[in-house]
Chain A
Amino acid sequence: MKIDKDQVENIAKLSRIRLTELEREMFVHQLNNILFYIEKLNKLDTENVAPMAYTSDVSNVFREDKLKPSIPLQDVLINAPATKSGFFKVPKVIE
């Protein structure tokens, strides 16, 4: 599979990354190189192989429904680029 400029632009949109024309060209080239390399996986027949989504074979890990203290509002907001009256402030969101 080969990707073109439009696809790269689409992926960039999905990734919330804005590319300059130059970057777009660079990424088309580099991503195609990588995808070409990845193609080698198709040499393998994996029809009857189970996917490995987890590195651990443990299951059923839970915590109890027990309250723990939240953190002080000051710590919540200290790293925020913009705040207002205890809220995080962002550019207007229109649905």
Chain B
Amino acid sequence: MTYEVVIGLETHAELATITKLFCGCSTKFGVEPNTQVCPVCLAMPGVLPVMNKKAFEYALKAAIALNCKIDEFTNFDRKSYYYPDLPKNYQISQNYHNMGIDGYMDISVNGTISRIRIHNVHLEEEAGKLIHPEEVGADYSLVDFNRAGVPLLEIVSYPDMRRVDEVESYMQTLRKILLYTEVSDCKMQEGSLRFEASISLRKKGVDRLGNRVEIKNLNSMKSVLKAIEYETMRQRDVLDRGETVDRETRLWDEVNEKSARMRSKEESQDYRYFPEPDLLPVLIDEKWLRAIKDTIPELPLIRRQRFIETFALSDYDASLLIDEKILADFFEECVKILNRPKSFCNWITNDLLREVKDRKLDIYHLKIKPKQLAALVEIIEKGTISSTIAKEVFSEMIQTGKDPKTVVEEKKLVQISDEGLIEEIIIKIISSNPDAIEDYKKGKKNALTFLVGQVMKETKGKANPKIVNEMLMKKVGV
């Protein structure tokens, strides 16, 4: 039997504020347990929440970037459930008036654009962290409330995805949008970006959705994809046996690459939402909305298209560049100074990314500046240095932040174009390599390459390779 897989995603992203949603405690990651807490985020008796304006505006910005409808009125609700990492045993969230509804996000799969609808975008608070000690026989868990109250954005998609590659593109695109709008650092390893998937299967051609299964505990994009594949198979087996899929929530087990039931629909929680009386509503007027809109940069997919059209870059190159906003910005700065898009694209996607990877550099704090890369390309074109030498210069620049000219001068890397000088060296090389000359005359073309290499070695790479080539050919008599 062939089935259609119907997939929706719920995404949680911690917002990039320096303080929590309702108190002034730091949101810094990885500090000692319970050292970034106060009476408010510990839910001591008598405390009250006060909304962090930046967090609200970040959520609003994300909702706008995801093309949501923004109602003039929004407010917060209490979502009640008991869990030891939830200090108040209710989470301040949004239910009756979400920040944004009915949005969409365009994704690209193998060059085809499709539109995934967004059900809602809302702001809520993060829970703390539960630690389950691994010691044998431990009958306790430990709670750290440092994360409790960190602002959290929830983005709920419609079940508009049908294939794993769409899901992958959705996650990547969403991550890029959150990074481009600078509302979240999206560090999955720190849990600041998380996904939950809901999957159902239906026979091809059937309208009605099958019973939906939600999957939690997906710690990486890879887990999301694996869990969806696993769940698709599992549901297909159930349906093929003529049974029905239970509506339930399952937990993904990353180690064994399978999922297990967490709770059934019957056990589903009754969250008892009602308006949070401790926080007053927020009214969003046109002026505010426009001001937030103005802070949203060109989003990745649009930028990619522009790069392809304006700079004649390939789809592949453009995608690489827009992958990190900071790189695309770097690229555009360079092009503004010197109109050599292809050249800058190569430098950035090859050399710069390789150096970043090899030297474990932070792309957000690069020492090299766009005008320095532009200056480098300029002196290559002028013939001041060869492109081989340029790689060495670039490597120095990215490590020290020095101007290319300074590096060239300090290391005496100026290209030798003096034909007299080059001729002297060529004569010397020819005389000391008679075998190579013989080989060449017998028709072995790569003997010439060997001789060029020898000249370059003698000049420590500084000889102008074009001149060396021409003069050598003349000398060996072609």
Contacts and interface: CB of A to CB of B under 8 A. Distances in A.
A60 B280 CA distance: 7
B475 interface: no
B295 to A, nearest CB: 15
Interface stretch (A18-26, A33-41, A65-73): A65-73
B56 A91 contact: no
Contact of A68 (B24, B32, B53, B54): B24
Contacts, number: 122
B283 A65 contact: no
Nearest to B251: A95
Interface stretch (B37-45, B106-114, B436-444): B37-45
B272 interface: yes
B53 A62 contact: yes
B51 A67 contact: no
Contacts of B275: 53-54
Interface of A is mostly: loop
Contacts of A95: 217, 251, 262
Interface residues of B, number: 51
Nearest to B53: A62
Interface residues of A, number: 35
Contact of A71 (B37, B56, B144, B251): B37
A74 to B, nearest CB: 10
A91 to B, nearest CB: 6
B35 A73 contact: yes
Interface in B55-96: 55-56, 75, 82-84
A53 B74 CA distance: 13
A49 interface: no
26 contacts: A53-B275, A53-B277, A55-B277, A59-B282, A60-B283, A62-B56, A63-B53, A65-B17, A65-B18, A65-B55, A66-B24, A67-B26, A70-B35, A71-B39, A76-B34, A86-B33, A86-B35, A87-B131, A89-B143, A90-B84, A90-B143, A91-B139, A91-B140, A92-B139, A95-B217, A95-B262
Interface of A: 14, 16, 53-56, 58-71, 73, 76-77, 82, 84-93, 95
Closest 10 A/B residue pairs (Cβ): A68-B24, A87-B142, A62-B53, A65-B54, A53-B275, A88-B143, A93-B141, A86-B33, A63-B50, A90-B84
